[in-house]
Structure 1
């Protein structure tokens, strides 16, 4: 049954990744095209992340009561409606309408994030890292192909008289509806409800929980707390670096095809080696792989802070390393969180972690646009390294305390 679950999740994640890989960079370009403001473009990108924040806990509660299938399906359908609204907003050039649509599109992010945890519901404890890594790896195909579709879909839309950068959102909406249908039809039996039944729990809907008790649980569980903080920082640094790279290249006069290629190689770094990082988690432990991810992020910041003007090659190399650091940190942090809380508390803890992760990314996305306007992309990379250093230092200190206590 675990193999069937993984196969279904692989399929839905590929479709999801194809379309969502276009969303963030194209959103920025669409908004800047008719507002001429990088700050508003950053705000629109932040709205997509904020949508993931707003959807994370409701989808987690829906998942607890109805299972992974209904939770994932609902998120994709809401996001599909949002993509249509973005197209309408782009046609009439109303920023607030685009902002509302991109917020709804963010529900797909929350649903896609749930998929990695769905892969662990039926997995053995020593195989959770690989299960997460395989599902994240599925996004490789879509993540690389998605940005490359941005140019052709935009050209087709312009050919029929639609404004620039609205065409990709037609593809986004269609893909999200397909992902929703695939999850609803084939994610059966529901992995979470089945796991609950096999462990002796009740597979029927349970009462809704509250956010505050889950936050207290995470706060008093050291490993869970470290995992949540680390994943939030890893994701925020990656999002701000990737999103503003598209505008940095655009400001330098690069075409949408070049921007799409840069994002594609970044996404390849994010997803291609995730099964390897999952295997490393199962083999050497989540904490060590998390440290590896933080180190790669610092290296990426070091490369990107040297990129001035049209340094396309340097930006691409930095984005690949940025993606690798995210992959190692994301897989390791997710596995660390799943293994540090009891089974009955996992769906809500995972939902809260996704909420905080998306909130951190949203908080980073808006000022990232302002930093790009004021000081440029190299300074954004320098500032992004600061939280990574703090998390890495905290991880090292906690490891020393554990070693000292063991001695």
Structure 2
């Protein structure tokens, strides 16, 4: 067992060797799961549009798998709270693999209802991919929590960038197997999610959340025993339900970032398709977007650890506004300008996710951490589902530029909450 000497100083992990091993395992699983989550982003809307013959509901697939991720976030959070991160994360990825198989079956049968059910289940992989970032912070030193979170997030970049660019090759493979080409990326998703579950099941030992609780309990007992030996009163334990001021602004930052990002991202491939761009072009733009969502994470983590989560959260709102403006003015035939808009969109989301995660982790005690994190991720998933569902309706009623600009303006709503929190502090 790890030493129980007090180690929760600002720059010291209570179990440094275990923390390093945990991060290595999480990085491996995130590389795999990144490829899995990219499938729905790249071709989900196009698959629904092809099966339904309408743009009005093209945002429904994103709404469904983000709604499914909301339910999965609750399940993964509660399972992690009760039994640890390993069974919670592994179960979530297995559900994502099952959903991927269901999408393929629906495409072969040309069955829209089965497609929507399968996409709902597929959303478990997206929720689990996000929940994994919390596991990276369980044993991290307080001063390095954002960097630990960012290490897990950046690992998603490789799979997330490679996945969309395999849309055309996997489509060709699918057609050779008698499967519609647009379902091809889900072949990759199913295999990737299943392998991620296997990696976590075999190698995520000891469980970081359970070990963090054990160390925290032992440190409290040691402090009480030392105080008793010295003849003083034992320090009163902190209330299990006490929360810091960062919970609400952290959650709001991630909710708004997710809503705006999903709404604009979902309709970009459809917008490009309507202007004559092929799957390869939209796959490239989405790959750059996913790279911007995760690749800057180490820098973002350092910024949060150094300057605080609230400042980086404010930068998130401003960056998302810039993304909305660029997307709104981008010519429909310009892949480069649309790519720039989606890169800014991903960067703004990254700022929001890393800063919000760090604020919430700092604000919530270990006794209720996993359950609270799961509930926050439910709100994030609902926001994503709302953005995905509304995006198709907004584009059908108005236009893609209107959607992009409205999303950018909405992202600024995080600034008053951050300012109010800063004043209370």
Q: TM-score range by the shorter chain?
A: over 0.9
The aligned runs of 1:257-406 (5 Å cut-off) are 257-400=280-423, 402=425
SS of equivalent residue, structure 2 residue 329 = coil
Structure of greater Rg? 2
Q: What's 1:65 paired with?
A: 82
Q: What's 2:110 paired with?
A: 93
Deviations 1:233-290 (A, max 9, x none): 1111111111111111111111100010000111111111110000111111111111
Q: Say whether the 8 Å CA contact 1:30–1:164 is kept in structure 2.
A: no
Scaled by the length of structure 1, the TM-score of the pair is 0.92
Out of 187-196 and 29-38, give the one that drifted further. 29-38
Scaled by the length of structure 2, the TM-score of the pair is 0.88
Q: CA deviation at 1:346?
A: 1.1
Partners of 1:166 and 1:24 lie apart in 2 by 12
Q: What's 2:62 paired with?
A: 45
Q: What's 1:182 paired with?
A: 199
Q: What's 1:164 paired with?
A: 181
CA RMSD of aligned residues (A): 1.7
The runs of 4+ residues in structure 1 deviating greater than 6 Å are 217-220
Partners of 2:352 and 2:41 lie apart in 1 by 21
The aligned runs of 1:219-258 (5 Å cut-off) are 222-258=245-281
SS of equivalent residue, structure 2 residue 288 = helix
Structure 2 residues without counterparts, runs of 5 or longer? 1-17, 220-239
Partners of 1:177 and 1:2 lie apart in 2 by 24
Partners of 1:60 and 1:165 lie apart in 2 by 32
Q: CA deviation at 1:399?
A: 2.6
Deviations 1:335-387 (A, max 9, x none): 00100121212111110110000001101111101111222210001211232
Q: Say whether the 8 Å CA contact 2:245–2:421 is kept in structure 1.
A: no
Partners of 1:51 and 1:163 lie apart in 2 by 24
Structure 1 residues without counterparts, runs of 5 or longer? 203-216, 403-407
Partners of 2:287 and 2:213 lie apart in 1 by 38
Matched, 1:173 2:196: no
Q: Say whether the 8 Å CA contact 1:246–1:259 is kept in structure 2.
A: yes
Q: What's 2:150 paired with?
A: 133
Deviations 1:122-151 (A, max 9, x none): 101011010001111111111111100111
